[in-house]
Structure formats: C-alpha cells, structure tokens
Amino acid sequence: MFQPSLTIPRFTTTKMSASLFRRQALGAARCFSTSQRRYAADVKSLGVIGAGQMGLGIALVAARAAQVPVHLIDNSEASIQKGLAFAKKLLDKDVTKQKLTQEQADEARSLLTASTEMDDLSSVDFVIEAVPELPSLKFDIFRRLAQICPKHAILATNTSSISITKIAAATTSDPTDTSASSRVVSTHFMNPVPVQKGVEIISGLQTSKETLDTAVAFCKKMGKITSVSADAPGFLANRILMPYINEAVICLETGVGDRDSIDAIMKNGTNVPMGPLQLADFIGLDTCLSIMKVLHGETGDSKYRPSVLLGKMVDAGWLGKKSGKGFYEY
Ligand SMILES: NC(=O)c1ccc[n+]([C@@H]2O[C@H](COP(=O)([O-])OP(=O)(O)OC[C@H]3O[C@@H](n4cnc5c(N)ncnc54)[C@H](O)[C@@H]3O)[C@@H](O)[C@H]2O)c1
C-alpha cells in the first residue's frame, strides 16, 4: 500500500545526531514489532492541519522525536506565526534545561515548515488534522484531503469526540468506495502534547487494519504510549474526563462550592496536577462544550447534559487560557 514518498522540496532534512539516533533505536527495539517498525518507517513526511495548541504540539513532537519533515497548515497566518514562535520558545526552554542540545533543537526547527494552503499536502505520507471541534469543518477538510493527498496517505484526525466513521464517510460520495475512507483513523493526542504520553487510537467502521497499525507505529515513533478504543461517543478519555469537568462546572453554577474550593479538593484529594476548572481552561471551554454536546446528542442520555454556565462562558468568548479568560484570568 505504501509507495516511496515524494520529497517536499522546501523541507530541509538534517542528519540525526548520534545520541538521539541511539536513543530512538533503543526505544524502537524495546517496543516495536517487526511490522510496526516497517509501518513507522514508511511514514517519511507528516502534514498537520491546525497550528493551535494541539496541532503545534503534534508537529513539534513529530519533528523532535520521529525526526520527519512536518508541514503545518493553518488558514490563519497569525496562528502560524504564533505557533512557530511558541515552538521556538519550547525548544529554547529544552536547551536551557539541558533536555536537548542546541544542535538537536536546530534540527527540529529545520524540519518544521508552514503555509496556509492545503494543496501543499500533496506529497505527505501521513496527515493529522487538529482544527476546532466542528463536525462540518472536519468533514470538509477530509473531503479535500482525499482529493489532495497521495492515494497511500494515512488521514488521521485529532478529534475529541466526533465519530471516526462519520469523518471517514465524508471522504467519498460513494460509500462502497473505501479507497480513502479505509485510510481514515483517529490519533487522539492528549494536552499538552509534548508532556502527555498517552494517545488514543480509534478506528472507524471503514478503517483498514494496515491504517490502524501504521497509526499505532507512528505514534510510538513519536515516543507515545498508545491505547486503542472503540468509535463510541467520547471514546475512552473524554467519556470519562468530560462528565467530571462538566460536573465541576455544575457544582460552581449551583453554588455547591466556589472555584478555588472545587479545584483545591480535587487537586489535593485525588493527587492530580490541577483541579477540573483549571483543566477546563487549559483544554478550552469551547472544546469541552463541543464534546459534552456530542456525548449528550449521540447517547441521548441526560446525564451528559452540558452545564448552562459552560455554554454561557463560551457565548461570552471566555474560552480559557487561549482567550486570556476562563474560570481564571491569564
Ligand atoms: N485542547 C485540548 O485539550 C484537546 C485535547 C485533545 C484533542 N483536542 C482536539 O484537537 C482539535 C484542535 O483543538 P485545539 O485545542 O488545538 O484548538 P485551537 O483552537 O487551539 O486550534 C485550532 C487551529 O485550527 C485553525 N483552523 C481553523 N479552521 C481552519 C481551517 N479551515 N484550516 C486550517 N486551520 C484551521 C485555527 O486557526 C487554530 O489555529 C479539536 O478537534 C479538539 O477537540 C483538543
């Protein structure tokens, strides 16, 4: 299914440093099967759509750990500039903390390119989409990816909650033609991507085993630990996490506790790095609301009803850390 990939001329590939190569080779030997090693090796270039907090993190980790050229697409030039500046800041910080040498940081930066044109993904082997959690937007992007990308490319989504089967179906007007839909899969990275090791891999009804195996292998090459879950509303991570966050917002809304008490009891009582309201701010309140709407709508179960306060905060544009205000000020 895989063909030798075409090189994107604008990418600068650099020689991998000896120590990084040794570390990767050791890691690979520990956790890769022979076929997984082959599948991961077949991915020679990556496209990432959306230079927001998730897309930027995915692009940076792919350049750093998997050492493949990554082309980042965003429809906003401002988001691209902000994302690339943030990537530089993170790499500089790793150099200061002696987690990376200056040479390794420069290598990672040289593997990252960006543009606003999706047509620039015409020769990548693997694409990960990380645009906002809006079904119609994702369907449109996958319809276009099926036309733009090579016929062997894996088309992955970072959706938090939208059905992979529905996203795969959007690639074609003929449901019996699975040539594109069989290459659609979810690689659901956790936030912040450079820190969190877990990635949830989800197949749609149409996803081929080779696509699933390649997604697992490539995420491992990025240094991640994969879990496989079913294409059910919220999958695993958000089926468990979002009702917890939503319940915290309902507790705030109904006066069971104030912001600081809610976050303090969960942080200090369950040994997590932050409370649910602060976590919601970090995830993005718009993303949390979208996921609750999917859980509620697709299960029809009232236990997933989104908090009224959560909806109002999104209406106000108070989306959390990314907009400067959420349950906290940034
Ligand atoms: N934030 C989280 O904690 C988290 C965790 C796991 C998964 N996700 C999922 O990842 C995806 C992205 O979330 P995020 O938090 O990074 O969002 P974000 O709002 O930070 O970033 C989205 C980016 O997509 C860009 N964009 C919008 N429309 C576009 C288009 N048509 N073409 C190209 N780029 C476009 C925006 O300019 C923005 O830079 C969502 O599906 C979300 O559910 C988020």
* Minimum-distance ligand 1 atom for the alpha carbon of 131: 24
Minimal-distance CA residue to ligand 1 atom 27? 131
Pair of tokens at residue 45? 């270039």
Phi, psi torsion values for 115, nearest 5 degrees = -160, 175
* Minimum-distance ligand 1 atom for the alpha carbon of 287: 43
* Minimum-distance ligand 1 atom for the alpha carbon of 133: 41
Q: What's the pLDDT score for residue 264?
A: 98
Range of the domain at 52: 18-229
* Minimum-distance ligand 1 atom for the alpha carbon of 56: 16
Within a domain: residue 294?
A: yes
Determine which one of 238, 246, 290, 307 is catalytic: 238
Q: What's the pLDDT score for residue 7?
A: 31
Within a domain: residue 10?
A: no
- d(CA 3, CA 16) in angstroms, rounded, equals 23
Q: Is ipTM > 0.90 here?
A: yes
Domain end position, chosen among 229, 262, 282: 229
- d(CA 224, CA 32) in angstroms, rounded, equals 12
Pocket test for ligand 1, best of 54, 56, 86, 294 (most atoms within 8 A of CB): 54
Q: Which residues of the chain have pLDDT under 50?
A: 1-30
Minimal-distance CA residue to ligand 1 atom 34? 74
Within a domain: residue 329?
A: no
Determine which one of 71, 107, 182, 200 is catalytic: 200
Annotated binding site for NAD(+): 50-55, 74, 133, 138, 160, 191, 322
Domain end position, chosen among 213, 229, 245: 229
Residues 88/136, Cβ–Cβ less than 8 Å: no
Q: What's the pLDDT score for residue 59?
A: 98
Count structural domains, the chain: 2
Pair of tokens at residue 262? 């809610």
Q: Could you tell me if 165 and 45 lie in one domain?
A: yes
Query: Residue 17: how many CB atoms within 10 A of its CB?
Result: 15
Domain end position, chosen among 193, 208, 229: 229
Q: Could you tell me if 265 and 319 lie in one domain?
A: yes
Is 227 an active-site residue? no
Q: Could you tell me if 36 and 143 lie in one domain?
A: yes
Q: Could you tell me if 120 and 197 lie in one domain?
A: yes
> Whose CA is closest to 280, among 295, 290, 271?
290
Q: Could you tell me if 42 and 112 lie in one domain?
A: yes
Q: Could you tell me if 183 and 297 lie in one domain?
A: no
Measured in Å, residue 159 CA sits from the centre of ligand 1 at: 9
Residue 192: is the preceding peptide bond cis (ω within 30°)?
A: yes
Which three-class secondary structure state does DSSP give residue 225?
strand
Is 152 an active-site residue? no
Q: Could you tell me if 147 and 288 lie in one domain?
A: no
Within a domain: residue 13?
A: no
Measured in Å, residue 151 CA sits from the centre of ligand 1 at: 25
Q: Could you tell me if 70 and 203 lie in one domain?
A: yes
Query: Residue 89: how many CB atoms within 10 A of its CB?
Result: 10
Residues 306/289, Cβ–Cβ less than 8 Å: yes
Q: Does the Cβ of 8 fall within 6 Å of ligand 1?
A: no
Determine which one of 188, 203, 246, 290 is catalytic: 188
Phi, psi torsion values for 200, nearest 5 degrees = -95, 130
β-partners of residue 185 are 156, 203
Q: Does the Cβ of 160 fall within 6 Å of ligand 1?
A: yes
- What is the CATH number for 173? 3.40.50.720
Within a domain: residue 9?
A: no
Q: Could you tell me if 221 and 306 lie in one domain?
A: no
State pTM to two decimals: 0.84
Determine the angle formed by the axes of helices 285-299 and 308-315, rounding to 10 degrees. Answer: 130
